[in-house]
Structure 1
């Protein structure tokens, strides 16, 4: 008898395992390039091993350098988080400064429109705010 549902399930399992294998392979290749504690010849050796004998090369790499993979991944995530925080801090600070300038100019324009300051005083105050 033919079991089409079982065949579909088996095919999905094989596709899932194949995709997981490719993800693991590319993560290891990325870790080889990202690693700063080995020299370029060692990186070349690992790449040759992983590309020519993928199963054996990946298993040996995970056994030999698996612990360092997580540390390098964590360090990379921390660096990216710090860069994002620095970028956001600089951007928000610039936005706050711009908002303060806009508020000051709006107040000056309101004072000028009410006749509380002259046009010359408005221009001097505006130059101070924008400086």
Structure 2
């Protein structure tokens, strides 16, 4: 469920990078392949939605091991960093009818757990603004 209260505390006009942490189902909830297969379907739909709002994927990769901190509860399968030019652009996508009907069902079929953390830039080697 989208945390609108938390997002409302952010500057809606500031750029944001969303840290996505995902744990996949072994089998897709709709019976069509694995959770990973469903995630690929989700990505195929959401990437154009992200780009249409001026955003982009910065990085994706397999989560291999917890290097520091508690291992329990942190066994993620995949991580992604997604840039949006504004918090409003992220909210617009996530609350759109197209996301609800075309993308989110694939996400639900793919993920046993999916956490998205809104981040603000403290340092970057790359210029985001």
- Relative to the length of structure 1, the TM-score reads 0.26
Q: Which has the higher strand share?
A: 2
Q: TM-score normalised to the size of structure 2?
A: 0.26
Considering fraction of residues, name the structure with more helix. Answer: 1
**Of the two, which has the highest radius of gyration?**
1
